[in-house]
Each structure stands twice: as structure tokens, then as C-alpha cells.
Structure 1
């Protein structure tokens, strides 16, 4: 998949567009931030890909980095369901051939919706634009699908994808966050269309898990992921140093039994049937099932006993999941 960076120059009051991004035959463009690339987002991208094939256009996505809320000071510590590299990988699996990445800056936030269409979309050669039902753009979010069509002089066929519902609930990034915050990772995974996952590098810790008889890999996250409810989960793990996907348990939280109050949440993974050195290796952890909330135990012996029960329950849970898949 081709990737091109687009920037807005306040000094020149124009967009800097790589010449290679302007395609002969035009572009069918899905536009959005697409945090999570959930089922609703996937429908927007698929529609753009389908239209591209029907019309002989290049299937493309226009997305933004960093998140507008961070740039505008509305959310200093914004977290994501799917980090930027992961989004690009998912776009490619959906059939996208070109990703246009627009750097979101305070200057760009002042660009009117009309200028966004006239000075960016039209010069790009966008023939089809596909957006979600709630998509807004331009300064103060005043632009919508109708304005996009009018500002282009009807040169752009703007298509709006209606919301996707699953089990009676609208699929949205907000809903997925709410489910993860409640520990309902199976339901969140259904809305995502895949298990919720995090990626990170294994770093040295206090080796307490090894002392307790359950060696753990301490994960330093690669991106500012949204952290699900503190507790213990059954997970599957892939990555460097692991020949095939492995089951395990992860503890997400503050480790109240062994650590002082406060501090940042830790993610510690215990892998089943594995021995080896994972320090410095990059792992992907997929959350399959919530087992229990994090709790403080009266003694290390009580903690060890509970970890053993967690591992047994996780093995059973993952075994059932595997049998359903097969």
C-alpha cells in the first residue's frame, strides 16, 4: 500500500500534496480518523474500495495524525483503540491501495470546510468520497456531506454510510471503550470485528512473578493504548520469540498486593507452556475473556493460589474458544 504525507502550510495558505498521490482515473476516498477501524469504519472503507473497482478509481483512505482532540487541547492524554501503524495494516487488508496521512495542526484546524474541499480534495482528483453518517470537517466542524458535494461543484460523488448495528446497539468507538472499561472484552471484540489487542516490548521488572512460580513478561506499550478495566484476562499472544500463538493470562492494573498505592498501570503476561528469554522482544496480546477484577490479597500465598486458579480458568476458557473457532 502506498502512503503519502499531506501537510497544510499556513505561510503559503495551501496544502502540500505529493505529485504521486494524484492518480490517473481519480480516487475513491474514505475519510475519517477511524480509531479502532471497527465494523462501522470497515463498512466506510469497503464502500470506497467497491466504488473504486466499479469506476476504475484508486481505492484510498484519508486519515489524520495526531488525533485532533490532542492538537486542540481537548484531551491532553488521548488514548487509542488502534495505533496508527495498526490502522494502516487494517486498511490494507480491506483493499486500500493508498493511504493519505494529513498532519493535523492548529493551523489546519482553522481551514474552512470549503477550502478543504477546494484546495485538497479537488486537486487530489477525488471522484468519490465515502464518509460515515456523523462525519464533520473543516473549521468548527461546519462541513458535512452536502457541503462537500456543493463545494466541489458536484465533481465529487459523496456517499454517506449509515451506522452499523450489532445486537441492537450502534457500533462506535465510544461504545467499544465503554465495554472495555467494564471488562466486557468479548462484546468489544464483536464490535471491532477482531479481538482487542495491544502491542509492546518486554522489559525488565522486579521478577516477582518468577519468584511466585508464575514468570511474567512485563509489557511496555508501543502506543498510548486505551487501557481496559483493571483485572485478569485470558489472552492469546504472538510475537518475536514465539513460534506459534500461545495462551496465557494478563494482569492489568496497579498490583495492590505487592506495590504501594499510585503509579502507572502495569501489564504482566504469563504464557502457558513457554520457556525462553523474551526481553526486548515485541509481543501482541489479544484479550479473549475477562476473568476477574484486580484485588488486594492478605498474603502472597493467597495471591499465588488465586493466580493458579486464574491460569486454570484461562486454559479452560481458551480451550472452549478454540473449539468454537474450529
Structure 2
């Protein structure tokens, strides 16, 4: 996938070297946090339109989230899908070019007309595909009809209707809410894939090893939305330097504050125990894929009680994951 990073300076008409070279684009526009079922439909229609009309399938997205810059919600400081993972998922859908707008205060002042005439038309965009709630430009003044008008009638605009799951509209907010409840099944259906968190293994206090259940303490690489505290059945991919999976293990994840050992107010920790693994993972990048939440975090009165519970958790996670594999 070709990548082009754009900023408000492009309003002057000076697009980055190479950004003008692609002529005839079918462009999906949106933030696409999560790249969920609704986003997938927008992108798939843009790719299908490109193939029908001999255009280049492309996306335009923004970084960071506009609401972060505008101070419109602290929840948007976390993400379901970091930019690089988002681009990878979009490439897998057939997208060949990505335009990333660096969203800052200056860019927030760009009018809808300026946006179309300085960022859309100069790229050779022939068609755009947007979601039903698409808005752009200063104070969200622009919509799908604005794209048509400011594009001088030369840009085809398609609006994708909302996608529903269990009678409710699929949205990033709904996915965040389900993660807060630990509802992995709903999250998997809304995303079209299990939720994933990537991070680097860092040193902990080695208490898990002393208990007979060594854990990999994961430091998330990006400000991911962290799910509900508790215990999860997961898969763990050990990643290579290129980001590819070298090995995959089943395992169990504890998200929480370790109340049996740590005082209240401590840092949230993600501790993964890999089944049938014996080795050193310090400094390695892991990808944790969440499949099922099965109990809340709790404080134990003795180490023996904790060991008994961890043993039970491991057995439960194995059972859950074996069912997933067989299905």
C-alpha cells in the first residue's frame, strides 16, 4: 500500500511529492477506529467501485482522532485499532493507497469547501464512499451533499447505510461499551474478528513463576482501549521484527490490579500465561487476541487459594479455546 501523509499546509495546494501521481481514485473517507463491520462495508464498496470503474482503491483517514484535538471526549484518547494496524487491515481489503491527514487545531479550521478543493479534487478522486453519519470541515459543516457540490459534480458520492447487529447499529462506541463489560463474543461479532492488543513484554516481580504459572507482563505499545478487569481465554502470537507471527500459543490473561498482592490504587497490569511454553520473552512483541471473559478479578485470603484458582482458570481457558478450534 502506498502511504501519503498530509497536513494543513496542503491547503496551499502543495501536496507531498508523489501524492498527485495516482490519477483516478475511488476513496473511502473516515476515521475507521476498530475497522468494524460498518467500516468494512464502506471500504469494500470503495474497492468494488474502483474495480468496476478502473480506479485505484484508496482511503483517507485522520490521526489523531479529531475529537481528541477538539477536546470533545477523553474516551477518544484510547483507540481500538492503532493507525499502523488500521492500515494493515485496510490493505487486506484491497486498498492500494492511504492518505493520512494530520489533524491539529489548524486543520480543524479548514472549511468543507477548502477540504474538497485542496485535499480531494487535486488527488484525482473520481468517487468517494462515506458512512451515513459522515461530516467534515470546520465544525462538521460538510456532509455527503457538500462533497458533490464542492466537487463540481465531477465526484461520484456514495453513502453507506448503517450496519446492524442484534438490532443495534454497529459503532466504535458500542464496541468500547462491550469491552467495558468483558463481552468478547459481541466484540468479535461487531469487529468481524477478535479484539487484539499488542505490546512489549517487560520485567515484573516474577511472582507468577514462583506460583508455578509464569506470566508475560505486557506493556501496550499504543493507548488501546483496555477491557474489563478480570480473566480471559486468549491466543498469544509471538511476533517477529516484521510484525509477523512466529508462534501462536493458547493461554489465559489477567487484566487488573492484583488485589491479593498490591495495595489499592496501583497500576493496571496485563499478565498473560502461555500454555506449553518455556522460554524467555522479555523485550519481545506479543499480540493478545481476546476470545472469552470468564471471571472477575478478586482478592484471595491465601496463596494456596490463589494457586487453586489459577489452576482452575487455566483449565477453563483450555476448555474454551479447544471449543473455538473445533468450531
Alignment of 1:75-90 (within 5 A): 75=73, 78-90=77-89
- For residue 22 of structure 1, report the CA deviation from its aligned partner: 2.3
Residue of 241, 249, 255 corresponding to 2:258: 255
Residue of 67, 70, 73 corresponding to 1:69: 67
Aligned residue pair count? 322
Residue of 227, 245, 248 corresponding to 2:248: 245
Alignment of 1:198-213 (within 5 A): 198-213=197-212
Aligned to 1:284: 287
Aligned Cα root-mean-square deviation (Å): 1.4
List alignment gaps of at least 5 residues for structure 2: none
1:59 aligns with 2:62: no
Aligned to 2:139: 140
Alpha-carbon separation, structure 1, partners of 2:14 and 2:270: 41
Residues 1:112 and 1:268: Cα distance change in structure 2 (over 3 Å): same
In the alignment, is the contact (CA less than 8 A) between 2:109 and 2:137 conserved in 1?
yes
Aligned to 2:313: 310
Q: Deviations over 1:50-84 (max 9, x none)?
A: 11111111100000111112212234571000111
List alignment gaps of at least 5 residues for structure 1: none
Moved over 4 A (4+): none
- For residue 239 of structure 1, report the CA deviation from its aligned partner: 1.5
Q: Bigger shift: 68-77 or 268-277?
A: 68-77
Alpha-carbon separation, structure 1, partners of 2:52 and 2:267: 50
Alpha-carbon separation, structure 2, partners of 1:30 and 1:264: 39
SS in 1 for 2:247: coil
SS in 2 for 1:21: coil
- For residue 295 of structure 1, report the CA deviation from its aligned partner: 1.0
Residues 1:207 and 1:140: Cα distance change in structure 2 (over 3 Å): same
1:231 aligns with 2:230: yes
Q: Bigger shift: 14-23 or 132-141?
A: 14-23
In the alignment, is the contact (CA less than 8 A) between 1:248 and 1:271 conserved in 2?
yes
- For residue 13 of structure 1, report the CA deviation from its aligned partner: 5.0
Alpha-carbon separation, structure 2, partners of 1:15 and 1:235: 48
Alpha-carbon separation, structure 2, partners of 1:88 and 1:141: 24
- For residue 19 of structure 1, report the CA deviation from its aligned partner: 4.0
In the alignment, is the contact (CA less than 8 A) between 1:126 and 1:156 conserved in 2?
yes
In the alignment, is the contact (CA less than 8 A) between 2:259 and 2:299 conserved in 1?
yes
Alpha-carbon separation, structure 2, partners of 1:247 and 1:72: 41
TM-score between the two structures when normalised by the length of structure 2: 0.95
Alpha-carbon separation, structure 2, partners of 1:220 and 1:37: 23
Alpha-carbon separation, structure 2, partners of 1:323 and 1:246: 16
In the alignment, is the contact (CA less than 8 A) between 1:109 and 1:138 conserved in 2?
yes
In the alignment, is the contact (CA less than 8 A) between 1:62 and 1:102 conserved in 2?
yes
- For residue 38 of structure 1, report the CA deviation from its aligned partner: 0.5
In the alignment, is the contact (CA less than 8 A) between 1:132 and 1:160 conserved in 2?
yes
In the alignment, is the contact (CA less than 8 A) between 1:28 and 1:52 conserved in 2?
yes
